[in-house]
């Protein structure tokens, strides 16, 4: 049995002269959470559209649960659920009506639809708001409803395109718990995010997308280790970070760094040495890639 839920090799996609995906390859193990991390416009949604058969690649191949996204479109669609960036629910209907409608569209009988709707309202903590119109829902409630709607029929692979964008911290954390609960049920989750903390908290594996390719993959820990052992952080009098510099942490390296920066720092600059954060990782990896692209 293939242990990969998603396999992508050499994927390319351009819009006119703009190359968005430039030979992208990745694989996602079954039953894991995979986070694709990239800044605005990096091509995350473009990749999700190809993997969910909404658009075709120009070149390369992608398989979901062993099915090719171009030649076995129907089998791929039967293997996936997709929650996009914008809530795909009807605002005039209530949460319960939206769910029941989707259940009926998916072929469930009236009785089955009622039961499945009640189950999903409970699972996504929407019971209290079930009979309110969606236009009165908060952002977090809408996201939960959107997720519930996409899970009316249980599929092995779930795509979440920036699931927590625009949510406040409390709603974001609540949605993380929901996503982790779906993983516990054995669902493979492929999510895109701009939030490093989200990738750090949720994902078994993280991939950084930059310049149309995956520039690094690993766990949050291995990615941090890749950037270097420590970071020298310089702070001004107001305690604001003015610069961070990766370092191996050795006395020799830190002395060399200090020699290089000391003359240009105001006298009250303070220095701390700390482990790199995911922000440092992201900056280091995408900056190197941008330099390579602009020199190409
Ligand atoms: N149908 C299209 N026609 C032309 N250009 C497109 C099309 N779809 C996407 N693009 C361009 O491709 C690039 C990548 O877009 P995409 O939406 O995949 O990025 P993203 O990483 O999801 O960004 P965001 O985080 O802002 O959603 C952007 O420059 C976008 O303008």
- Pocket test of ligand 1: the residue of 15, 22, 195 to mutate, having most ligand atoms within 8 Å of its CB, is 15
The strands making up 33-37's β-sheet, listed across from edge to edge, are: 80-83, 157-161, 188-193, 33-37, 205-210, 213-218
Instruction: Average the pLDDT over 53-81 and give the result.
Output: 94
Ligand 1 atom with the smallest distance to the CA of 47 is 18
Q: Rounded to the nearest whole angstrom, what is the distance from the C-alpha of residue 44 to the centroid of ligand 1?
A: 8
User: Cβ distance 116 to 105 under 8 Å?
Assistant: no
Ligand 1 pocket at CB < 6 A? 15, 20, 38, 40-46, 194
pLDDT at 46: 94
Q: What is the pLDDT of residue 227?
A: 67
CA–centroid distance, residue 41 to ligand 1 (Å) = 5
**Residue 100 CB contacts under 8 Å (≥ 6 apart), including other chains:** 113, 114, 117
| Residue having the nearest C-alpha atom to atom 25 of ligand 1 | 40
In the chain the domains, ranked by start, together with CATH numbers, are 4-218 (3.40.50.300), 224-295 (no CATH)
- Which of 16, 35, 45 should be mutated for ligand 1, with most atoms under 8 A from CB? 45
pLDDT recorded at residue 136: 92
**ipTM summary value:** 0.94
Tokens of 75: 């089998």
Q: Residue with the nearest Cα to atom 31 of ligand 1?
A: 41
Q: How far is the CA of 40 from the centre of ligand 1 (A)?
A: 8
Q: Nearest C-alpha to atom 1 of ligand 1 is from which residue?
A: 15
Q: 281-296, pLDDT tens digit by residue? A: 777 777 654 444 444 4
pTM metric for this prediction: 0.79
pLDDT score recorded for residue 178: 85
Mutate to test the pocket of ligand 1, among 12, 13, 16, 46 (most ligand atoms within 8 A of CB): 46
CA-closest residue to ligand 1 atom 8: 46
Of the listed ranges 162-171, 172-181, 242-251, 279-288, the least confidently predicted one is 279-288
Digit-coded pLDDT (tens) for 113-172: 999 999 999 888 899 999 999 999 988 888 889 888 888 888 899 999 888 877 778 878
* Mean pLDDT of all residues in 180-192: 93
CA of 165 to the centre of ligand 1 (A): 16
Q: With a cut of 80, say whether residue 92 has pLDDT above it.
A: yes
Give the integer Cα–Cα distance in Å for 247 and 227: 9
Distance from C-alpha of 22 to C-alpha of 273, rounded to nearest angstrom: 37
Ligand 1 center to residue 125 CA distance, Å?
33
CA–CA separation, 13 and 7 (whole Å) = 16
């Amino acid at each position: 049995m293939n242990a990969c839920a998603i396999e992508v090799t050499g994927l390319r996609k351009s819009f006119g002269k703009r190359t968005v995906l430039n030979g992208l390859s990745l694989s996602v193990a079954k039953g894991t959470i995979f986070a694709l991390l990239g800044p605005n416009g990096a091509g995350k949604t473009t990749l999700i559209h190809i993997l969910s058969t909404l658009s075709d690649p120009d070149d390369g191949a992608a398989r979901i649960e062993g099915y090719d996204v171009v030649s076995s479109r129907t089998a791929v669609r039967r293997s996936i659920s997709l929650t996009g960036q914008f809530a795909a629910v009807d605002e005039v209907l209530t949460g319960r009506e939206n769910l029941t409608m989707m259940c009926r569209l998916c072929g469930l009988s009236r009785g089955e639809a009622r039961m499945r709707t009640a189950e999903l309202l409970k699972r996504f903590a929407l019971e209290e708001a079930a009979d309110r119109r969606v236009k009165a829902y908060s952002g977090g409630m809408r996201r939960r409803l959107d997720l519930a709607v996409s899970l009316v029929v249980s599929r092995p692979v779930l795509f979440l395109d920036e699931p927590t964008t625009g949510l406040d911290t409390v709603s974001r954390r609540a949605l993380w718990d929901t996503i982790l609960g779906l993983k516990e049920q054995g669902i493979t989750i492929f999510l895109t995010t701009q939030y490093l903390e989200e990738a750090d908290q949720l994902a078994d594996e993280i991939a950084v997308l930059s310049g149309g390719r995956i520039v690094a993959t690993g766990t949050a820990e291995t990615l941090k280790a890749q950037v270097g052992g420590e970071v020298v952080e310089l702070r001004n009098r107001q305690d604001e970070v003015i610069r961070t510099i990766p370092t191996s942490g050795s006395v020799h390296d830190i002395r060399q760094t200090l020699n290089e920066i000391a003359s240009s720092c105001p006298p009250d600059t303070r220095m701390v040495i700390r482990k790199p954060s995911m922000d440092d990782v992201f900056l280091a990896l995408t900056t190197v890639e941008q330099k390579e692209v602009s020199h190409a």
